Structure 1
Amino acid sequence: MGKYTIGIDFGTLSGRCVLVDSENGKTAAESVCEYRHGVMDEALPSGRRLPLGGWALQHPDDYVEVLKTTIREVVEQAGIKVEEIYAAGIDFTACTMLPVLKDGTPLCRTEKYSDEPNAYVKLWKHHSAQKYADRLNELAMERKEPFLKRYGGKISSEWMIPKIMQTLDEAPELYRDTYSFMEAADWIVMQLTGNMTRNTSSLGFKAIWNPKDGYPPAEFFKELMPGLEHVATEKLQGRIIRIGSRAGSITKEAAQLTGLKEGTAVAAAHLDAAGASVGAGVITPGRMLIMMGTSSCHELLADEEVYVPGVCGYNNDCVIPGYIGYEAGQSCVGDHFEWLIKNCVPQRYFEEAEKKKISMNAYLSEKAAKKLPGETGLIALDWWNGNRSVLVNGDLTGMIAGMTLQTRPEDIYRALVEATAFGTRKIIENYISHGIGIEEVIIAGGIAQKNPFIMQIYADVLGKTVRIAGSKQNAALSSAIWAAYAAKSENGGYDRLEEAVEHMADIMERQYRPDQQAKEVYDMLYEEYEKLHDYFGQGLNPVMKKLKYLAVEQNKRNGEVERNEH
């Protein structure tokens, strides 16, 4: 009999499952399940329109469908028996949260709240809680709350507390009826084990918690918003468990749902990016892992706490047990490219790509690669979905300078790729300037695997050799590694994380070295990027916030006109 673990990565648009041989790390099978409802940013399933201004919701039933279909598919593909699978692990985007009843039922499934937007899953890139984040940050600075330091000086609108504040303000009865606001990662673990738990990674990075002090005091929450004072004790229910520990076992009901054997070990949930370090073998300080997809997360380890402004957060035991884990990020990377493809590419490009039997991303990369750095005459700010690091402002929006009548889609594509690389350079330089060394950069994810053009631009812009993580499903592989570690040797796994990583990590040898001529041009362009970054991002010209506010107000007005006409 073989020894296998399951790893499931819940991303923004789909869930990806891998079956991994835990003795050698080879992926025996993989399966992908697209979310049927996708990202709900315009309307609920009922047809109710969502307000303009950064809504991004999901339906929890889509996650259950991933469990129901992908596990059976990988078992069937590999031709193994479920008895050969001894553990399962999951990771998830974060903060992706939902309100649930005591038995874990999502409030959006109830008749009472099926048409209430705040009852649905608020995806990580849900930004309509920005004003609540602003209020939280103002009060925390007034009170000189020590927790702000751990979050780079600002709490993001993407995090747990601003999203809960929005629910309390907009749907107070829903807030009262909620037993617990759960990270979707922990909710999935509950579906598998029946146990309501909260993993230390999600708590530490997204919920203003740390192992030493816990949550902020009740008086802070009371001053923050009436009715919020007991949020930590009454609305964040669940046993706190350390990453790498065992959350429980597959229940009889979960066995029927997934096809796994009852009693199979289930690891504590982990954040997708933070948990992915093990799959790339990044388990010691000095190496940055960039998880690149619709957005990017930048993970680092350190032996000691160092204050770094503008990061998403740092905390003990949030990335790798025993180290301080740091996370920074960009709210929009691959989403830039998808936006361009959906909205700005002519039909003839699609026809030409189809003839070549390549994707539109590959086609645009092919055309953009024919241009030299600076030849497009464009420079962009990578804020199509706000700025996570280092400005921590969801109200910021993107821009492109240098457009002419000669500008082509591939020029814009290249400018957007360069902008995301500049954003990453800003993050890296911010770490280094505050005393955290970065000797090596490893990039993981589908973009890194599939697009040499983008990876070379990153190497040129960063002026560093960029290495590529081996598995195209690195996050899912990492969850399978965490599963083996959580199960321990008595169940077929590993007692030491280093041992699990040694046997199961997939470290690819492919690397991209910077081209010196390209680097020199990009150094010059980066200086211009920094000027635009500071001018639009640090309050010198708040035009982006003004335009966004105007758009929201006019959208409300337009909706009222339409309702009156009907």
Structure 2
Amino acid sequence: MKTYVIGIDFGTDSARGILYHLTSLRVEKQVLAEFPRWKKGLYCKPENNQYRQHPLDYIEALAEIFNGLLSDLSKEERLQIKAIGTNTTGSTPVAVDAEVQPLALLEEFKDNPNAMFVLWKDHTALKESDEINQILKTYSPDYSLYSGGIYSSEWYWSKITHIIREDEAVLNASYSWLEQSDWVPNYLCGNTAIDLVKRNRCAAGHKAMWNEAHEGLPSPAFLLELEPKFERYQLPFYQETFTSDAVFGTIDPSIAEKYGLSKDLKITVGAIDAHHGAVGAGISPNILVKVMGTSTCDMLIALKNMEEIIVDGICGQVDGSIIPDYIGYEAGQSAYGDVFQWFKQLQMKTMIDILGDTLNKEDMERWDERFFTILTEQASKLNPQADDLVFTDYFNGRRTPDANLALKSAADGFSLSTEPGHIFKALVEATAFGSRSIIERFQAFNVNIAGVIAIGGIAEKSPYAVQVLADILQREINVLKSDQVCALGSVVFASTAIGAFESIATAQQKICPRIARIYKPNLKNKEVYETLYTRYLELAAV
């Protein structure tokens, strides 16, 4: 008899679900569901760094995924789906009422962006993160010790503080706050009791300064010093956290009945998407997994019984945040694929403004499909030179090393001979220089990196970008044979939770995809990239 599990990965633009057959060890079906409100740009103000997502986008995406994955299954086969694992973006918190319902699902808040999920890339809380960092400098214990020593505007407490200051109605109506990675499994279980929410250690540790070393979350006294309005809540929000191999609960009976699923179907504890991606990529000690999407997330693991290494300026190190019984290290860049999309939109805007009425759908699709192909062809013909155009990659601020989301990108080396291919080449190199600075930060604290695995949209779709990365890092880059690695990570946890495998490591050996391609560094570019990287660091220091 066939046995299945489902893995669901909530990204920035869409959710992706896979139906995994545990007997044959293969993906039987996958479904992509876009977020319609997000696609229209609703509730977002890019000029203010405001990015919000409506919970209905997530609910509708789940329905589309279930309908798509289950459409070809018999009644008996649907009952053989034993578990669902999920992951989401983060830090993406939302205000909820006493029944764990996002406020935006209530009639009076349905169009209020402050009542929606505050997406990971939302930087409206710069002021609040500055205040948190000021308090942290003099506070004992040092809650930022395991969060890289700097708290970011992208993270949980910064965003919550900003919203409760800005919107009295949301403050008064909210009972608590949940990460998206906690809300999704809670929704699937139909739980309406806040005390029964199993908060995932991944988001709690990396985004909310939770750590066993200082007995959980920052103290009520710390939060009240930051903002007295926190007295509105029962603090701390939670104390216990769970790793993704734990079972969150069983599926909501109404969802089970609607789709013909077993009422015993297990829902596992969630996590941040990139962390499940690292597991799905087969992460092991000293192997850096780099998720190359709209932003990047770089992850390492180390055994707990090794001498503790505290790395300054990263996005945290947390026991069990990636794999139980290992310390999970996270770093990353706040803009990666977003940098290339910015350049694309910049070039498209004037053309559309001039020719908009005369451009048909086919013209726009051809432009969209060919844009990066043409730029890549142009950039590939340019041999790197010491006086080339250089950018910094801080288009959305700097996440690592040493978070500073107020930073702007800078460039040096423009001339009247600069063409689009030169700019694209420099942008690709800038993202690779940012990656190198992250690796050098780990190395500065004696964290060994023996290999690099690249996953995500850029790794899959842009051989040019990956080759430039290999040349600048002077390391081999392994790209995997799968476009659903994050969802596969959720499958690893879901299958282990139901006892299909004896351990996470065994599940990884069976489920994780093979290497599709190895990019080897081009030694002839080594010297010139050393010069360009030095210029990048000088420009970053300005």
TM-score normalised by length of structure 2: 0.91
Counterpart among 411, 415, 418 of residue 400 in structure 1: 411
Matched, 1:198 2:193: no
What is aligned with 2:20?
Answer: 20
- Counterparts of 1:357 and 1:251, CA distance in 2: 41
Residue pair 2:285, 2:302 contacting (<8 A) in 1 also = yes
The two structures, once aligned, show a CA RMSD in angstroms of: 2.4
Q: Which digits, 9 at most, give the CA deviation of each residue in 1:386-437, with x for residues without a partner?
A: 1111131111111222222322222211111110100000000000011100
**Correspondence for 1:67:** 62
Structure 1 portions without partners, runs of 5+: 536-566
Q: Give the equivalent residue in structure 2 for 1:245.
A: 246
TM superposition shift of 1:480: 1.2
Classify the secondary structure of the residue corresponding to 1:277.
helix
**Within 5 Å, which residues of 2 pair with 1:461-540?**
461-488=472-499, 493-535=500-542
Q: Structure 1 residues 474, 200: CA separation in 2 closer, same or farther (over 3 Å shift)? A: same
Q: Which runs of 5+ in 2 are unaligned?
A: 192-196, 353-358
For residues 430-451 of structure 1, the C-alpha deviation after alignment (integer angstroms, 9 at most, x for no partner) is 0001110000000011211121
Checking the alignment, whether the CA contact within 8 Å between 2:391 and 2:409 is kept in structure 1 is yes
SS in 1 for 2:16: strand
What amino acid maps onto 2:320 in structure 1? Answer: D
**Following superposition, which runs of at least 4 residues in structure 1 exceed 6 angstroms of deviation?**
350-357
1:324 equivalent in structure 2: 327
Amino acid at match of 1:321: P
Instruction: Answer whether contact 1:219 1:229 (CA < 8 A) is retained.
Output: no
- Cα pair distance change 1:532/1:277, threshold 3 Å: same
Aligned identity (percent) is: 34
CA distance in 2: counterparts of 1:40 and 1:211, whole angstroms:
42
- Residue type at the aligned position of 2:69: V
Partner of 1:141: 137
1:471·1:477 contact (CA, 8 Å) conserved in 2? no
Return 398-407 or 377-386, whichever deviates more. Answer: 398-407
User: Superposed, which structure 2 residues align to 1:532-551 within 5 Å?
Assistant: 532-535=539-542
- Residues 79 and 260 of structure 2 are in contact (CA less than 8 Å); yes or no, is this contact kept in structure 1? no
Residues 353 and 360 of structure 1 are in contact (CA less than 8 Å); yes or no, is this contact kept in structure 2?
A: no
Cα pair 1:281 1:507 within 8 Å, conserved: no
Structure 1 residues 400 and 412, CA, compared in 2 at 3 Å: closer, same or farther? same
Deviation digits for residues 509-559 of structure 1 (CA, Å, limit 9, x no counterpart): 411010011122111100010111122xxxxxxxxxxxxxxxxxxxxxxxx
Whether 1:95 and 2:91 are equivalent positions in the alignment is yes
**Separation in structure 2 between the aligned mates of residue 355 and residue 375 of structure 1, nearest angstrom:** 35
Residue in 1 aligned with 2:356?
Answer: none
AA matched with 2:506: E
Are 1:310 and 2:313 counterparts?
yes
In 2: Cα distance, 1:248 partner to 1:477 partner: 20
Quote the residue 2:211 is aligned against. Answer: 210
- Contact 2:216/2:240, CA 8 A, preserved across alignment: no
Aligned match of 1:129: 125
Distance 2:259 2:122 in 1: 29
Cα gap change, 1:313/1:457 in structure 2, threshold over 3 Å: closer, same or farther? same
* 1:459-507 deviations in Å (ceiling 9; x for gaps): 000010010122111101111111101222xxxx223111211111113
* CA distances 1:27-54 after superposition (whole Å, capped 9, x unpaired): 111111110011686x53xxxx859421
Aligned partner of residue 368 in structure 1, secondary structure: helix
TM-score of the superposition, structure 1-length normalised?
Answer: 0.87
Deviation at 1:74, TM superposition (A): 2.2
Q: Distance between the aligned counterparts of 1:286 and 1:511, measured in 2?
A: 18
From the superposition, tell whether residues 240 and 411 of structure 1 become closer, same or farther in structure 2 (CA, over 3 Å): same
Structure 1 position 299, deviation (Å): 0.4
* Partner residue of 2:338 out of 317, 335, 338: 335
> Are the aligned partners of 1:180 and 1:237 in contact in 2 as well (CA < 8 Å)?
no
Structure 1 letter corresponding to 2:536 = Y
Note the 1:34-433 alignment, pairs <5 A.
34-38=34-38, 44=43, 50=45, 52-76=47-71, 81-195=77-191, 196-212=197-213, 213-228=215-230, 233=235, 236=237, 240-256=241-257, 260-282=261-283, 284-303=284-303, 304=306, 305-345=308-348, 358-374=369-385, 377-433=388-444
Counterparts of 1:477 and 1:403, CA distance in 2: 43
Indicate if the aligned counterparts of 2:279 and 2:322 stay in contact, CA closer than 8 A. Answer: no
1:546 aligns with: none
Q: Contact conserved, 1:215 with 1:232, CA < 8 A, in 2?
A: no
Contact 1:280 1:470 in 2 (8 A): no
Q: Tell me how far apart the structure 1 counterparts of residues 302 and 231 of structure 2 sit (CA, whole Å).
A: 34
Q: How does 1:3-14 map to 2 (within 5 A)?
A: 3-14=3-14
Structure 2: how far apart are the matches of 1:50 and 1:419? Answer: 26
Cα displacement string for residues 157-178 of structure 1 (whole angstroms, at most 9, x for unaligned residues):
0110011111221113422321
May I ask how many residue pairs the two structures share in their alignment?
A: 523
Q: Does the CA contact (< 8 Å) of 2:148 and 2:402 recur in 1?
A: no
Q: Distance in 2 between matches of 1:363 and 1:376?
A: 24
Secondary structure, counterpart of 2:158 in structure 1: helix
Deviations 1:71-128 (A, max 9, x none): 2212335778212321110000100111111222211122332343311110000101
- Check conservation: 1:67, 1:258, Cα contact below 8 A: no
Matched letter for residue 28 of structure 2: A
